[in-house]
Amino acid sequence: MSPASTSWLIRGAEVAGPGDRAVTDLLLAGGTITAIGAGLSEAGARVVDAGGLMALPGLVDLHTHLREPGREDAETVETGTRAAALGGFTAVHAMANTEPVADTAGVVEQVWRLGRAAGYCDVQPVGAVTAGLAGTRLAELGTMADSAARVRVFSDDGRCVADPLLMRRALEYVKAFDGVIAQHAQDPRLTEGAQLNEGEISGRLGLAGWPAVAEEAIIARDCLLAAHVGSSLHVCHVSTAGSAEIIRWAKSKGWPVTAEVTPHHLLLTDELAVGYDPVFKVNPPLRTAADVAELRRALADGTIDCVATDHAPHPVEAKETEWSEAAFGMTGLETALRVVQRAMVDTGLLDWAGVADRMSVRPARIGRLAGHGALLAVGGPANLTLYDPAAPAEAVSPAGASKSRNTPFAGMPLPGRVVATFLRGIPTVLDGKLA
Amino acid sequence: MKRHLISAADLSRGDALLILDTAEELASLADRPIKKLPTLRGRTVVNLFFEDSTRTRISFEAAAKRLSADVINFSAKGSSVAKGESLKDTALTLEAMGADAVVIRHSASGAAHRLAGWVRGSVVNAGDGTHEHPTQALLDAFTIRRRLRGGRGGTGTGLDGIRVTIVGDVLHSRVARSNVLLLSTLGAEVTLAAPPTLLPLAVDTWPCAVSYDLDTELPKSDVVMMLRVQQERMTAAYFPSVREYSRRYGLDAARMARLPDHAIVMHPGPMNRGVEIAAEVADSVRSTIVEQVANGVTTRMAVLYLLLGGTEFPEVAA
């Protein structure tokens, strides 16, 4: 990486802002954006020709599995943040289901320090809601909030906080430090042994069905609880049309509810399971084309606040097996922006200002993350992504910076290319490669 | 025909008729003192059984041996699989041994499909989880045609217009899935009769009719196929009790009397006598249960013969 003292002059980028798109130069120095305007010059600055490129605020992921500590064979903080930088991210939220679980100040501080050492993007640890993700008693939420990692998002992701009383208490408790509970909405009884969205495909393939209602019932319950106690609920990886409808209704009441959708739920459907290739096995499962259409619409109208990758790396042997034996999850950091271009921008549902909002501004706000998610402005943090939306669609390679290869998009042509990523004025990616 | 037989949906009507007609020719072999043909001499068939199923394994074993193939039985219990070896590594081992065909029985839906991606030989699905069991459907179709179309008189014909009612735990039944697909391909009119809890949610997309009331279906059935119901389904609230299930969906003598005179009663085995089928029904003249077992060997011979492209076609018809 270049020294922090280097200043960078980005020439001729298109800045996505509300309502307008302007071609301009940007000067990055000392970790901030020091000038924006046409025809900028700066002695000693290194120049990036950004003609034809979109300049977006650095992307923020609310939902990343970095697997460290515990499953360093699948991913480490170092490899995961490299993948994040290549995908245009400047901050990721590291989920708590590590081994040991991130349910103490010690573990969240370890993850936070590993992120600082890696340097490819900021790593904000998510704390577990319940001790050991066991769903029986609260983890020490306040201690994690007060730790050096300053945890604000709490989630048992991978498991649902199914006990309604425990969920109520968690929502209430985190009000003391402006926390948010990010719920993995999955009724455990309705999904015992479940493998694939319950519908025509699961019936035909003989795979145990995963009903939409198992997600929707928990979301409805939790929206009511959030309203009752006046605390913030965030819904992870919304996957059904019905879930979007419930969230739209909750928001119409003015309730403090936010939601995310993954790139794969915006593009892929359960029909991909017909070959029983577990690369398409994910939690929540891929749904139907009707669900995909409704999720896109909900993201476009703001019902769903943001895109979050649920990047879930797994080693080869966890997927090269029978479907029911295979692990749930897909990688997603390196392809997220390209998938969003294809699903949302190229379809006319969202403009680039909208992408900046859904992939940077709102996830940073939900994550209470300072220094990220600001629209590009003089005096603001120099966290930004240069993206070429006109790059010809290229087939996705399974081999990337992530340690794992379980991308469902392998071989699929996707448009666009992340050209450069800057973290506080320092390039982490230049010319599409790690800097 | 395709290289593998994984789903009954892999078979066109022409493919299915070819198998049934070949089986019909091979059937005459069973009446000869020497039941063996040299057709698959030097070819290797592996029976890869991850689930205990003695009846299916010996059926395939007999079929392969009557065609003079070398048979290797690989049972998961007590093998490397029990020690944690993956399906893929098992497949690569079989590949190294030069298996021309692998007959696989597995508790996971899709296992046969996955295996086909890892071996060069033909894969025959002998039951994968709650997905399919295509050779069971073939032997059932063969049995129906023989009984209702009069033995060799049925050669070359499908099952057009024959009304088949399949009763019981459709949701978890690989036999039901394969039969719905194959019997409808052959022109039969299939009706599923079951409590709503034991039908897949999207069963309306299947090529069959659905009924919750067995009694209204019986008088219009040419064939009634009873599925095995597992008692543990009760604990997952699929039905309140075995007795209630039996009362509403079991085939007893009184219900059998509602069938047309020519109708037959089938069961893929193993039976729960007194649950889905009463003993006097299982042992009645309508019952084809023992014939199904015999026809299983013949039908599986036809499948192995056609998949492995045996060169010396049996001149058994002569």
Query: Which tens digit of pLDDT belongs to each residue from A308-356?
Result: 999 999 999 999 999 999 999 999 999 999 999 999 999 999 999 999 9
Strand partners, A306: A260
Is residue B56 among the annotated active site residues? yes
Strand partners, A28: A8, A33
What's domain B8-133+293-307's superfamily in CATH? Aspartate/ornithine carbamoyltransferase (3.40.50.1370)
pLDDT tens profile A76-88: 999 999 999 999 9
Q: For chain B, which residues make up each domain, given as ranges?
A: 8-133+293-307, 135-288
Residue pair A62/A88 in contact by the 8 Å Cβ criterion: no
Distance CA A42, CA A45 (A): 6
pLDDT tens profile A367-376: 999 999 999 9
Say which of B88, B114, B132 has its CB closest to residue A206.
Answer: B132
In chain B, whose CA is at the least distance from the CA of A323? B110
pLDDT of residue A18 exceeding 90, the answer is: no
A321 contacts B106? CB cut-off 8 A: no
CA distances to A223, A224, A247, B281 from A254, rounded to whole Å, are 11, 12, 11, 64
Is residue B220 among the annotated active site residues? no
Contacts of A389 (CB under 8 A, 6+ apart): A54, A341, A345, A352, A415, A416
Distance CA B164, CA B183 (A): 8
Distance CA A387, CA A352 (A): 11
The one catalytic residue in B106, B131, B133, B300 is B133
Does B111 touch chain A if contact means CB atoms closer than 8 Å? yes
Q: Please indicate whether residue B14 or residue B232 has the higher confidence score (pLDDT).
A: B14
Question: Domain B135-288 belongs to what architecture?
Answer: 3-Layer(aba) Sandwich (3.40)
pLDDT of residue A95 exceeding 50, the answer is: yes
Residues of chain A contacting B235 with CB distance shorter than 8 Å: none
State which H helix or E strand residue A110 sits in.
helix A105-118
pLDDT of residue A20 exceeding 70, the answer is: no
Is residue B172 among the annotated active site residues? no
CA distances to A270, A335, A399, B187 from A396, rounded to whole Å, are 20, 8, 9, 44
Residues of chain B contacting A205 with CB distance shorter than 8 Å: 109-110, 131
Mean pLDDT computed over A62-85: 97
Residue pair A415/A341 in contact by the 8 Å Cβ criterion: yes
The DSSP 8-state label assigned to residue A195 in this structure reads -
Taken in order of first residue, the domains within chain A and their CATH numbers are 8-54+379-434 (2.30.40.10), 59-366 (3.20.20.140)
Distance CA A105, CA A418 (A): 35
Six token digits for residue A311: 């990047």
Instruction: Give the pLDDT confidence score for residue B150 in this predicted structure.
Output: 77
Say which of A200, A208, A317 has its CB closest to residue B202.
Answer: A200
The one catalytic residue in B4, B65, B66, B105 is B105
Q: Please indicate whether residue A16 or residue A395 has the higher confidence score (pLDDT).
A: A395
Instruction: Mean pLDDT check: name the lowest of A344-348, A393-397, B148-152, B186-190.
Output: B148-152
Instruction: Tell me how far the alpha carbon of residue B287 is from its chain's centroid.
Output: 16
pLDDT of residue A247 exceeding 90, the answer is: yes
Residues of chain B contacting A202 with CB distance shorter than 8 Å: 200-202
A389's torsion region: left (phi>0), alpha (psi -120 to 50) or beta? alpha
The one catalytic residue in B36, B55, B77, B262 is B55
Is residue A310 among the annotated active site residues? yes
Mean pLDDT computed over A186-210: 98
CA distances to A40, A138, A215, B25 from A130, rounded to whole Å, are 52, 4, 20, 67
For the four alpha carbons of A393, A397, A402 and A405, in that order, the dihedral sign comes to positive
Instruction: Give the pLDDT confidence score for residue A119 in this predicted structure.
Output: 87
How confident is residue B231, by pLDDT bands cut at 50, 70 and 90?
A: confident
pLDDT of residue A150 exceeding 60, the answer is: yes
pLDDT of residue B318 exceeding 50, the answer is: no
Question: C-alpha angle with apex B63: B60 to B65, nearest 5 degrees?
Answer: 110
Mean pLDDT computed over B108-117: 96
Q: What ipTM goes with this model?
A: 0.91
A205 contacts B110? CB cut-off 8 A: yes
pLDDT tens profile A293-321: 999 999 999 999 999 999 999 999 999 99
pLDDT of residue B314 exceeding 50, the answer is: no
Instruction: Give the pLDDT confidence score for residue A42 in this predicted structure.
Output: 87
According to DSSP H, which parts of chain B are helical?
13-27, 54-66, 87-97, 111-116, 134-149, 174-185, 214-217, 242-249, 253-256, 279-282, 289-307
How confident is residue B312, by pLDDT bands cut at 50, 70 and 90?
A: very low
B206 contacts A209? CB cut-off 8 A: no
Instruction: Give the pLDDT confidence score for residue B317 in this predicted structure.
Output: 39
Residues in chain B, how many?
318
Instruction: Give the pLDDT confidence score for residue A86 in this predicted structure.
Output: 98
Calculate the average pLDDT of chain A.
96
Establish whether domains B8-133+293-307 and B135-288 are of one fold. Answer: yes
Q: Measure the CA dihedral A177/A178/A179/A183, to 10°.
A: 150
- What pTM, to 2 d.p., does this model score? 0.94
Say which of B86, B113, B128 has its CB closest to residue A317.
Answer: B86
Task: Give the closest-approach CA distance of A422 to chain B in angstroms.
Answer: 43
B106 contacts A199? CB cut-off 8 A: no
Calculate the average pLDDT of chain B.
92
Instruction: Give the pLDDT confidence score for residue B151 in this predicted structure.
Output: 62
Mean pLDDT computed over A227-245: 98
Residues of chain A contacting B237 with CB distance shorter than 8 Å: none
Contacts of B19 (CB under 8 A, 6+ apart): B11, B138, B299, B302, B303, B306
Say which of A199, A208, A275 has its CB closest to residue B113.
Answer: A275
Instruction: Say how many Å lie between the first and final Cα of chain B, rounded.
Output: 26
pLDDT tens profile B160-208: 999 999 999 999 999 999 999 999 999 999 999 999 999 999 999 999 9
Indicate which of A191, A201, A277, A322 best probes the interface with B, i.e. most B CBs within 10 Å of its own CB: A322
Residue pair A59/A422 in contact by the 8 Å Cβ criterion: no
Q: Of all residues in chain A, what percent carry a pLDDT higher than 90?
A: 95
In chain B, whose CA is at the least distance from the CA of A190? B236
Residues in chain A, how many?
435
Q: Of all residues in chain A, what percent carry a pLDDT higher than 70?
A: 98
Indicate which of B201, B208, B238 best probes the interface with A, i.e. most A CBs within 10 Å of its own CB: B201
pLDDT of residue B316 exceeding 70, the answer is: no
Residues of chain B contacting A322 with CB distance shorter than 8 Å: 87, 106, 108, 110-111, 114
Nearest C-alpha neighbor of B7 from the set A232, A206, A63: A206
In chain A, whose CA is at the least distance from the CA of B106? A322
The DSSP 8-state label assigned to residue B305 in this structure reads H
